[in-house]
Structure 1
């Protein structure tokens, strides 16, 4: 914890933010997204869900609809309802207060960006290679690792094909992440260990460090809801240290952790 506190104080930490943070705002989940697809395609929700995983169902939707434009429009509306007020999210305020130079997120919504705007902090959103030009040291970089709904270049990672392409780990944003991660501590929040994508990312990070032959590797951390000794041992082997919530309510536990890292 002291090493992580010092990394935050010295602006040497990367925040990597997942969907669990957005759920704090009561926005639609993956299940809601799949249910919406089933309705648009005229399927019974339970039957549709039984036909595949989220990625393959999204791929089928794209095949039937020829594109995912209407789905992106629905996501934009539902993820950014006017009834949501970012000031009500303590976690988003704490994320801003960490003042990390780099934030990577796999979330499609814009609530991290809205939090920076609300609290008057400078940031630069990065969703494609064109956004990497003229970066400034006084701006937090918010890297949309799974794409951005505002990006016209179809950067959204939603279907099985786009997910498989993502696993190549060779896009400009991947190359940037590899460079950024070599000298900084990383704190993963809002993720479940059942997320295969994040587990693959841990594996790639581990291989990156092994191949670099650098001995003094900065530690990475993931915040978890509850202990899991088996998964923690696997993570430890890959250089990821688990921080377990001290509260049964994971939102309250994360708030407590971030307050400790920032203010104590």
Structure 2
């Protein structure tokens, strides 16, 4: 379905010459109200966990609004100019597939996605740099998305070819339910799967982030580790 959406967006650009009107429609219909974000426990936890960098493929401003609601400064990074001018003393929200405020940054059409498969855009370079030196936690990404699978594979490939794979910082991905096949493939790429403890995916994610936040709050100078099998201690 996502591939179909990309093709439709491509068709729209061909017929209308730009995606401006489509972007405006998406902005109006995909934005969550400020009131809902204010009462969202998920957004509160994301802010409270104080991640130094958050990469999101969403185009909307929901994360930015959450930071503003909770009074936490942040820097939005959506293009090369933002990368060069970003402050280093506040969290980054990196709009990996672009931002509604900048049509040229959007990765929306089929051509946009195919162009990004080379992973040589400024945001791709920034992500590779961050991922090489930091622990990465992937949340909310579909493993059926070829772009994401290729990204995970490229990270593994970079470390594998370096000769220093044993020194790679750990990386994790949250999955709502266990999948032995995916776990085996991801383990091959150096990614540990973290699973929820509730049949409801949203509740499972909330439970995981709540436990993670509690551990961080209890040991702010000693980041929590995951035990084998992706369980928090």
Shorter-normalised TM-score: what interval? 0.7 to 0.9
1:203 corresponds in structure 2 to 153
1:212 corresponds in structure 2 to 162
1:150 maps to which of 101, 109, 113: 101
* Aligned 1:26-45 pairs, distance under 5 A: none
Root-mean-square deviation (Å): 1.6
2:79 maps to which of 103, 125, 128: 128
Task: Indicate whether 1:176 and 2:158 are aligned.
Answer: no
Structure 1: runs of 5 or more not aligned: 1-29, 32-51
Tell me the matched-pair count.
214
Task: Indicate whether 1:231 and 2:182 are aligned.
Answer: yes
Task: Indicate whether 1:139 and 2:118 are aligned.
Answer: no
Is contact 2:77-2:86 (8 Å) kept? Answer: no
Higher relative contact order (CA 8 A, sep 6+): 1
Structure 2: runs of 5 or more not aligned: 216-233
Matched position secondary structure for 1:100: coil
Task: Indicate whether 1:105 and 2:56 are aligned.
Answer: yes
Measured against aligned partners, the alpha-carbon deviations of 1:36-57 in whole angstroms (never above 9, x if no partner) come to: xxxxxxxxxxxxxxxx722222
1:190 maps to which of 140, 144, 159: 140
Give the deviation of 1:176 after TM superposition.
0.9
What is the rounded CA distance, in whole Å, between the counterparts of 2:41 and 2:26 in structure 1? 23
1:262 corresponds in structure 2 to 213
Matched position secondary structure for 1:53: helix
Using the size of structure 1 for normalisation, the TM-score is: 0.77
Give the deviation of 1:84 after TM superposition.
4.8
Matched position secondary structure for 1:133: helix
Residues 230 and 97 from structure 1, CA distance in 2 versus in 1: closer, same or farther, beyond 3 angstroms? same
Is contact 2:59-2:95 (8 Å) kept? Answer: yes
Using the size of structure 2 for normalisation, the TM-score is: 0.87
2:21 maps to which of 48, 56, 70: 70
2:69 corresponds in structure 1 to 118
2:203 corresponds in structure 1 to 252
Measured against aligned partners, the alpha-carbon deviations of 1:157-213 in whole angstroms (never above 9, x if no partner) come to: 111100011111001111111111111111111122212221111111111212333
What is the rounded CA distance, in whole Å, between the counterparts of 1:122 and 1:82 in structure 2? 20
Give every structure 1 segment of 4 or more consecutive aligned residues whose post-TM-superposition deviation is greater than 6 Å: none
